[in-house]
């Protein structure tokens, strides 16, 4: 980024590349149960990608019967880093978090939902964009919600 005569001009840096692979598996166990798994890993990431996890994954289970639908999912992020000072990196721990949702379909266009995000109230943080924030940016704790999905079609 360049600042000239009080104008702000963006300037792209050099190209960077990395390599990685991912896979997703889905298994329809029977008409009611669906299991899913996802895994991604990046190799040889550029030094400027320090805020990004090199390994991520998720597991999911869904049950659907009659008007009821229940899902449980878990997500994983490996260690990430952030700028502690302008030239010193600090490491944030890897983490798992779990979400769940229960829904009941009242009619063809209306579903009542009870959901829990970060259901186990995991204490985890994300890398800040700047420097100097010790411990990273805290993410939300457990979040419980009740809602109604209404399909307008």
pLDDT tens per residue across span 61-82 = 999 999 999 999 999 999 999 9
Q: Give me the pLDDT at residue 16, please.
A: 81
Q: Which of 3-12, 71-80, 108-117, 141-150 is the least confident region?
A: 3-12
Cα→Cα distances 68→42, 57, 103, 127, Å:
38, 27, 6, 38
In this prediction, residue 132 has a pLDDT band, given cuts at 50, 70 and 90, of: confident
How many Cβ atoms from other residues are within 10 Å of residue 56's Cβ?
Answer: 18
Mapped onto helix, strand or coil, the DSSP state of residue 49 is helix
Q: Are 139 and 126 in contact (CB under 8 A)?
A: yes
The terminus-to-terminus CA distance of the chain in angstroms comes to 47
> Which residues have C-beta within 8 Å of that of residue 138, sequence separation ≥ 6?
123, 124, 125
In this prediction, residue 14 has a pLDDT band, given cuts at 50, 70 and 90, of: confident
In angstroms and rounded to an integer, the radius of gyration of the C-alpha atoms of the chain is 21
Q: Give me the pLDDT at residue 64, please.
A: 98
Q: Give me the pLDDT at residue 9, please.
A: 67
- Residue 2 scores a pLDDT above 80: no
- In this prediction the pTM is 0.83
Instruction: For residue 73, give the nearest of 117, 24, 26, 111 by alpha carbon.
Output: 117
């Amino acid at each position: 980024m360049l600042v000239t005569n009080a104008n702000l001009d963006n300037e792209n840096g050099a190209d960077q590349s990395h390599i990685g692979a991912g896979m997703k598996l889905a298994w329809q166990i029977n008409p009611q149960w669906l299991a899913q798994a996802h895994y991604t890993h990046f190799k040889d990431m550029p030094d400027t990608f320090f805020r990004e996890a090199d390994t991520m994954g998720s597991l999911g289970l869904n049950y659907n019967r009659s008007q009821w639908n229940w899902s449980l999912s878990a997500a994983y992020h490996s260690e990430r880093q952030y700028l502690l000072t302008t030239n010193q990196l600090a490491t944030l721990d890897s983490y798992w978090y779990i979400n769940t949702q229960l829904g009941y379909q009242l009619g063809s266009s209306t579903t009542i939902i009870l959901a829990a995000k970060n259901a186990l109230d995991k204490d985890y943080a994300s890398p800040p964009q700047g420097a100097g924030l010790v411990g990273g940016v805290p993410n939300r704790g457990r979040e419980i919600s009740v809602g109604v999905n209404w399909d307008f079609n």
